[in-house]
Amino acid sequence: DIQMTQSPSTLSASVGDRVIITCRASQGIRNDLGWFQQKPGKAPKRLIYAATSLQNGVPSRFSGSGSGTEFTLTISSLQPEDFATYYCLQHNSYPHTFGQGTKLEIK
Amino acid sequence: QVQLVESGGGVVQPGRSLRLSCAASGFTLSTYEIHWVRQAPGKGLEWVAVILHDGTNYYADSVKGRFSISRDNSKNTLYLQMNSLRVEDTAVYYCVVTGSWGQGTLVTVSS
């Protein structure tokens, strides 16, 4: 099975900051990776698909990069509504696997 | 637009069974791969199972042999049959297709 190592597990930041979250795959997954945002009590929402493509309706301050084994989610200028938990998901092979999550907190 | 509505969750004793449903609208379920994903209270997301457009299915090791995914094309509905339930199966269960998620249904396994 492919393991997804996501870091950091917790991130404290301020409105306006640029933040980067990283996911590392235990083997190459091409660009078969998505990023999701989840707020308390809500279903996750997909932000990025195919590692770099922005989901319709998602603000352009979110971007994804990487391929193979190293991936990043960047938020260029944090807004108050961005404080949430973020997950990566590899869908290159079964079983699909999520990263452990990154909780983005207000500093 | 794509809409997914899960149902069937509840409280069940260890070792018993439960069947979850996911009613789909806005698309034809049989032409997509549809997933179940779960989230234990206060924990991260865990992929559970998938059914492909040709009916092939795959499962997480944690549920293999106990859970079964299926669909009824006439009802445009996805199912998850959960047998031999364990306390650690307690979670909110979501159905997911092409990045769209349902609202989830809570399964609590407790004596």
The secondary structure of B37-101 as a DSSP string is EEE-TTS-EEEEEEE-TTS-EEE-TTTTTTEEEEEETTTTEEEEEE-S--GGG-EEEEEEETTEE
Of the candidates B60, B94, B99, the beta carbon closest to that of A49 is on B99
Task: Name the residue facing A87 among B45, B61, B100 (closest C-beta).
Answer: B45
Confidence of residue B10 (pLDDT cuts 50, 70, 90): very high
Mean pLDDT of B69-81: 97
Q: Does A14 touch chain B (CB under 8 A)?
A: no
Quick one: which of B104, B100, B103, B105 has its CA closest to B27?
A: B100
Residue B1 has what pLDDT?
87
What pLDDT is stored for residue A58 in this prediction?
A: 97
Whole-angstrom distance, CA of residue B99 vs CA of residue A41: 18
**Is residue B98 pLDDT above 90, yes or no?**
no
Average pLDDT for B79-94: 98
What local confidence, expressed as pLDDT, does residue A7 receive? 97
pLDDT one-digit tens code per residue, B19-30: 999 999 999 998
Let me know: does B91 contact B71? Beta carbons within 8 Å.
no
What average pLDDT score do residues B6-16 get?
98
Which of A43, A87, A98 lies nearest to residue B104, judging by beta carbons? A43
Q: Tell me whether B103 touches chain A (CB under 8 Å).
A: yes
pLDDT of residue B99: 85
Q: What is the pLDDT along chain A (107 residues), one digit of tens a residue?
A: 999 999 999 999 999 999 999 999 999 999 999 999 999 999 999 999 999 999 999 999 999 999 999 999 999 999 999 999 999 999 999 999 999 999 999 88
Phi and psi at residue A61, to the nearest 5°: -70, -15
State chain B's mean pLDDT as an integer.
Answer: 96
Q: Which residue has the tokens 């042999």?
A: B65
Average pLDDT (B49-68) is: 96
CA distances from A98 to A12, A84, B43 (A): 22, 16, 12
Q: Do A95 and B94 touch (CB under 8 A)?
A: no
Instruction: Find where tokens 């034809």 sit.
Output: B28
β-bridge partners, B7: B21
Q: Tell me whether B35 touches chain A (CB under 8 Å).
A: yes
Q: Which pLDDT does position A107 carry in this prediction?
A: 87
Contact of B59 with chain A, judged by CB distance below 8 Å, is answered with: yes
CB < 8 Å to A100, chain B: 44
A44 Cβ under 8 Å from any chain B Cβ: yes
Q: What is the DSSP letter of A31?
A: T
